[in-house]
Each structure stands twice: as C-alpha cells, then as structure tokens.
Structure 1
Amino acid sequence: MTRPAIPFGPALLFCPADRPDRYEKALARADAVILDLEDAVAEDRKAAAREALVASPLDPERVIVRLNPAASAHRDADLEALAATPYRVVMLAKCEGTADLVDLEDYVAVPLCETARGVLAAAELAALPNVGALMWGAEDLVASLGGSSSRHADGRYRDPAVHARATVLLAAAAHGALAIDAVHLDLDDDAGLRAEAEDAAALGFAATACVHPAQVPIVRAAYRPDGPRLEWARAVLAAAENAPGVFAFRGAMVDGPVLRQAEAIVRLANGASTAP
C-alpha cells in the first residue's frame, strides 16, 4: 500500500494554537510545527485558537494540526475551522479506534495512541489508508490506566509505557506508516532527551515531538548518525556491491538485514525518514 507522504524532519515542535504570535517562530526553529487545539489550549480559549488557526497561514507542508478528541464537544468546530485552512495533516488526540477517523478521509491522519484503548488499536489504525504516521504518548496513557507516573525515579519509563512505545512502533512499521516518539517533559533533562532520541532513531522512529524550542537541536543531533557510524554504513554498502551474498566485513558477518540497517543510517544522514 502506498502511504500518504509526510515530508518532515526528525524534530516536531508543539505550539499552542491560541498563540499565533508563536507560529512563525516555532516553524522556523523546528522541522515541522504541531499547532495544538487540544491540551495546550484552555477550555475558554478553544474558539480563539480555531480563529487563529484560520487567520494565520503557514507553509502547509510543515504543519500538523492536533485536533481535540473525537468524543469531545470541540471536534465538529475543529473540523469546520480546519476546512478553512490549507492544512491537510491532522493529529488525532486520544485516538481510540478507527471510528475516530470518520470524516477524515481527505486528510493525512496521525493517530495519537495515548490511552489503553488507543494503544490496543494501534495496528487497526495503522492499517487505514490515510494514516501516514502513528504517535504515542505516556502521560495520558498512564492516566487512562488510573496511574500517577509514567516514569521511575531515575527517569526510565515504567513497563506499560515501554510496551506502548514498542507497540506503536511495530504497528506503524507493519503497515508502512511512520512512527513519532513521545515528548520528553523534563525541560532540564537534556541528557535524558538525548538518550531517548538516540534510541528512537536507532529503533526506526521517524521523529520525536518536542515541547520547547531548546529541545529541537538536541533531537536533530540525536537523529544524525555520527561520523564513524556513517562511514561504516557507506563502506559496507560499497563492499556489498561486489559481494555475492553474505560476506565478512571488518570482522563481522554482513547479510540482508545488516545492509538494510546501513541504508537506514545513510537515509538519516541525508535527512530522510528511516522508513524504506
């Protein structure tokens, strides 16, 4: 199945939709901006956020609009406002199943699997033809479980969050969609953000969402292969051109999966998604 294209880089930046004064700055600092009509906007500011969304045009190729949940009282008004804009990539907050995508056939959808139901529905969502990517979220997920913390004291995710992250990544990959990693909320934890983004890039996530502009360069650097890794990837691919099949390279066996990993490294270095 040919998936709809989502031409963004690795660092996506959330921006409250009721702050049009920040739109251009957010877009200038990140690879794409997520204009948020949901959690970043107070209830009494929802209408103002929709008005700002319509009145403040940006490059539609680099904009994702996060809608309020399908079951919320704001969804119809969100869609009405969206129809008056050039934006055609939408993120579905607290998406819990394929029914949440009704009436979105003309949009590229990014279901946000951030509840227990949403995580369990990840594969069904990824299979829909207009889904270009899946994202997951830890905080709403833990809230949906009746829990109070997504992380251990040392910053590591607790088991349900680890499971959700892997489930969303696997579901996206199984159906040819991209996967977006969750935000890192601790703004003072640069090392933790860097480690998570490096792990995300190594696993095949296409991007990591950011909640502050200062996180963008950290994420970009994490997704960019370092010199030795890139040199190895290019060298092993060059060696494969003259190899009949499985071969030894620098003391290690190289086969098809290793070559596909090398190709992913080169794509990352060229600024492309890891998705083949």
Structure 2
Amino acid sequence: MTRPSFRFGPALLFCPADRPDRYAKALERADAVILDLEDAVSDAAKGAAREALVATPLDPERVIVRMNPASSPHRADDLRALAATRYRTVMLAKCEDTADLVDLEDLEVIALCETARGVLAAEELAALPNVSALMWGAEDLVASLGGSSSRHPDGRYRDVAVHARSRVLLAAGAHGIAAIDAVHLDLADDAGQRAEAEDAAALGFAATACVHPGQVSIVRAAYRPDPDRLEWARALIAEAAVRERTGVFAFRGQMVDAPLLRQAEALVRRARG
C-alpha cells in the first residue's frame, strides 16, 4: 500500500474502549480519539470493549484503535472486531518487531515503541510502508527494564526515557513519518504538561497523546506557534522567495541558510494545521 500520511491534529485523547458513553465526548474535545482495547481495559472487560467498538461508530477519519500486543491472546479477537467497523487506523501496543505487523498490511499502523525491544526496533518499524507514525511510552519501557520510575522526583524524565524519546523521534524523521510524544500522567501538573508539549512541538513531534480531556487545550496551545515567531517565519519565507533561495543571506540581523528556512516552513505548516 502507499504509505499513509499522518492526518491528525496535535492533541490525541485516549478513551477506554469499554466506555462507549465517553466515545463521542472524547472525540468532540480532541483532534482524534484513541479507543483503547489494551491497558485501559481489564482482561475481563475486553470482550465488552470489542462489542462496544463495533456497536458505537464514530467518524473513522478521526479514530485510532489501540490494539493489544501481537503476542497477546487478544490479537485475533481485536482484528475480528476491527473488521466489523470502518476503522482502518490502529495503534499497535508494545510493538517490538516488524513481524508484529503481519496481518496488518491493509491497515494504517501507528507503532507504539514502549519496551526496550520496541525502542531498538524503531528504525525498522518506521521503514514499513503502512506505518504512518511512531509513538513512544515511558512507563512500559522502564517496566521492561526492571525499573520502577521513569522520572526524577522533580518530574524530569530519567536519561533512558530521554534517550528512547529521541531515538523514536529520529527513527520517524529519518523515514519521513510522524512521531507522537508520550502521555503526561500527572494530571495536576499543567506546567509540566505544557513544557513537555512545547518541547515536543519545537523538536518536530506531530502530536502528543493525552489521558484526560483537560490536557487537550494545553497541548493545542503548546503546538500553536508563537505569533511573533510565526510572523518571522512568514517574512523569512517571503524574503527567500524574492531572492529565489540563492544560498545564505542576512535577514533581520541573522544569517539564514537552508536549515533555518526549513524550520520556518515547519512553523507555517503547524499554524495551518
């Protein structure tokens, strides 16, 4: 299949698939909703979650279904339920190898690299033609290492999480696909959520996943370019067009070359989105 392009806005909101009463509200509040068949649903409730997925349709262009891992006994049932819907974008939890995407060739896949093996496989996963994005996750990653905390007491990520985040972003960028930043679990830490989302946007992440509707507005604001910076970017692009991009030139007291111009273009794209 032709590689699908990532079409979702910056704020993606998780919703337990066994709570169909929340589906529409979650979709209304976010740019896209991730209907979660995995960690948000107990084993005892997974059957009911799949039934709800089929019985409660939403706009398929704004829905991502998080499937259970390829090694899970729930995979076949997840696929049968998915086939009974119009949803064709899936997030594969704990994705660790290209073999995990067997039987998913006709679906758009967001590979969730949230274990040690998954992070190390990010480059190979990003190269697959039906993978439109990579996402990383800190908590399962640290658990897969035998650790107990992804963050320092002050809220900063520990080094291994920073490394995983960077590696997944680099793998996605190398293959021209989107990267999605991990959830921020401290619901009371608006400042931390804002800082992480602003950092994600500045680095080139396409979106940040949210676990609560209250995080959506914070993420959207973080991805929205600063007005002064956006004016600079538009003016720079206009100046480059006049000069026909003839190489390095001075603009408002700064030397500009191709990388800075590409950064300006990325800012304008974010504003359009």
Q: Give TM class, smaller chain.
A: over 0.9
Matched residue of 2:261: which SS?
A: helix
Give distance in 1, aligned partners of 2:117 and 2:247.
Answer: 44
User: Which residue in the other structure is 2:258 paired with?
Assistant: 256
Matched residue of 2:222: which SS?
A: helix
Give distance in 1, aligned partners of 2:185 and 2:66.
Answer: 18
Whether 2:81 is the aligned partner of 1:81: answer: yes
Give distance in 2, aligned partners of 1:131 and 1:67.
Answer: 14
Per-residue CA distance 1:11-34 (angstroms, 9 max, x = gap):
000000000000000000000000
Give distance in 1, aligned partners of 2:2 and 2:74.
Answer: 32
Number of residue pairs aligned between Structure 1 and Structure 2: 271
Matched residue of 2:242: which SS?
A: coil
Matched residue of 2:130: which SS?
A: coil
Q: Contact between 1:3 and 1:177, CA under 8 Å: does it hold in 2?
A: no
User: Which residue in the other structure is 2:49 paired with?
Assistant: 49
1:92-111 matches, within 5 Å, as 92-111=92-111
Q: Contact between 2:5 and 2:177, CA under 8 Å: does it hold in 1?
A: no
What letter matches 2:194 in structure 1? Answer: R
Per-residue CA distance 1:98-130 (angstroms, 9 max, x = gap):
010000000000110000000000000000000
Alignment RMSD: 0.9
Identity of aligned residues (%): 80
Shift of 1:3: 2.6
Matched residue of 1:240: which SS?
A: helix
Per-residue CA distance 1:231-257 (angstroms, 9 max, x = gap):
110111111112232101111110101
Per-residue CA distance 1:70-119 (angstroms, 9 max, x = gap):
11111110001001000000000001110100000000001100000000
Give distance in 1, aligned partners of 2:99 and 2:247.
Answer: 46
Give distance in 2, aligned partners of 1:79 and 1:6.
Answer: 22
Give distance in 1, aligned partners of 2:17 and 2:227.
Answer: 39
User: Which residue in the other structure is 1:229 paired with?
Assistant: 229
Matched residue of 1:214: which SS?
A: helix
Per-residue CA distance 1:206-241 (angstroms, 9 max, x = gap):
000000000000000000001111011011111111
Unaligned runs of 5+ in 1: 272-276
User: Which residue in the other structure is 1:201 paired with?
Assistant: 201
Q: Contact between 2:34 and 2:65, CA under 8 Å: does it hold in 1?
A: yes
Q: Contact between 1:119 and 1:168, CA under 8 Å: does it hold in 2?
A: yes
Whether 2:170 is the aligned partner of 1:161: answer: no
User: Which residue in the other structure is 2:22 paired with?
Assistant: 22
Give distance in 2, aligned partners of 1:68 and 1:211.
Answer: 18
User: Which residue in the other structure is 1:269 paired with?
Assistant: 271
Shift of 1:2: 5.6
What letter matches 1:267 in structure 2? Answer: R
What letter matches 2:217 in structure 1? Answer: P
Give distance in 1, aligned partners of 2:109 and 2:28.
Answer: 23
What letter matches 2:95 in structure 1? Answer: C
Give distance in 2, aligned partners of 1:270 and 1:94.
Answer: 32
User: Which residue in the other structure is 1:274 paired with?
Assistant: none
Unaligned runs of 5+ in 2: none
Per-residue CA distance 1:16-55 (angstroms, 9 max, x = gap):
0000000000000000000000000011100000000000
Matched residue of 1:48: which SS?
A: helix
Whether 2:123 is the aligned partner of 1:123: answer: yes
What letter matches 1:256 in structure 2? Answer: A
Give distance in 2, aligned partners of 1:201 and 1:95.
Answer: 24
Shift of 1:176: 1.2
What letter matches 2:253 in structure 1? Answer: G
Matched residue of 2:166: which SS?
A: helix
User: Which residue in the other structure is 2:179 paired with?
Assistant: 179
